[in-house]
Chains A and B, each alone.
Chain A
Amino acid sequence: METMMKMLLKNKELPEGAVAIVKSLSESGDTALFAIVGDMSLGGRYGATTLLFTATKAVLYDESLSAPREYLYEDMEDVRAKRMYGNATLSAKMKGGKREIFFRYTYGVAPLCDAAALFISHLKEGKPFNEEYAIVSVAFEKALSVCPKCGRPLLHPGAECIMCRSKKKIVKQLSGYILPHTKTLIFCIFLSLFTTFMALVPPAITGFIVDVVFSDGESSVSLLNMIANAFKGEPKKVLTAMIILLLCTYVLQYGVGIIRSYLMRTVGNKTVAALRNDIYRKAQYLPMKFYDKTSTGSVINRISGDSSTLQQFMLRITQEAVVHLFQLVGIVVIMISMNPGLTLLSLLPIPFIVLASRFFSKKIRPLYRRIWRRWTKVSSVMADTIPCIKVVKSFTGEQRSTAVFEEKNKDWLDMELHLGKIVTAFPQIISFCVTCGSLIIWGVGGGKVIDGVGGYSAGLIVSFISYASMFYNPVTFFANLSDSFQGALASTEKILDILEAEPEIELPNSVTPDHLQGKIEFNHVSFSFDRTKKVLDDVTFTIEPGEVVGIVGTTGSGKSTLVNLLMRFYDGYSGEILVDGHNIKNFNLSGYRSQIGYVQQEPQMFSDTIFNNIAYSVPGSTVEDVMAAADTANAHGFICRQPDGYDTMLGERGVGVSGGEKQRLSIARAVLMRPSMLIFDEATAAVDSETEHLIQDAIDKLIEGKTTLMIAHRLSTLRRANRILVVDNGHIIENGTPEELMALKGKYYKLVQIQSMTADAERMRREERF
Chain B
Amino acid sequence: MAPLDTGIGAAVRRREDARFLTGRGTYTDDINRPGQAHAYILRSPHAHATIKKVDIKKAKSSPGVIAVYTGEDFKPINGVPCGWLVTGKNNKPMIEPKHPIIAEGKARHVGDPVAVVIAETKAEARDAAEKIDIDYGALPAVVDMKAALKGGGKSVHDAAPDNLCFDWELGDKAATDAAFAKAAHVTTLDLVNNRLVPNALEPRAAIGDYDKATGEHTLYTTSQNPHVIRLLMGAFVLGIPEHKLRVVSPDVGGGFGSKIYHYAEEALVTWAAKQLGRPVKWTADRSESFMSDAHGRDHVSHVELALDKDNKFLGFRFETLANMGAYLSTFAPCIPTYLHGTLLAGNYSTPAIHTNVKAVFTNTVPVDAYRGAGRPEATFMIERVIDKAARELKTDPAELRRKNYIKPEQFPYQTPVALMYDIGNYGATLDQVLKLSDPGGYAQRKAASKAKGKLRGRGIASYIEACGIAPSNVVGSLGARAGLYEAATVRVNPTGSVVVFTGSHSHGQGHETTFAQVVSSMLGIPMESIEISHGDTNRVPFGMGTYGSRSIAVGGTAIHNAVNKIIAKGKKIAAHMLEAAEADIEFKNGKFTVAGTDRSKAFGEIALAAYVPHKYPLETVEPGLDETAFYDPKNFTFPAGSYVCEVEVDPDTGVVEIQSFAAADDFGRIINPMIVEGQVHGGLAQGIGQALTEACVYDKNGQLQTGSFMDYCMPRAQDVPNFKVAHSVTACTHNPLGVKGCGEAGAIGAPPTVINAIVDALQEYGVEHIDMPATPHRVWKAIQDAKARKR
Answer whether A and B are interacting partners: no
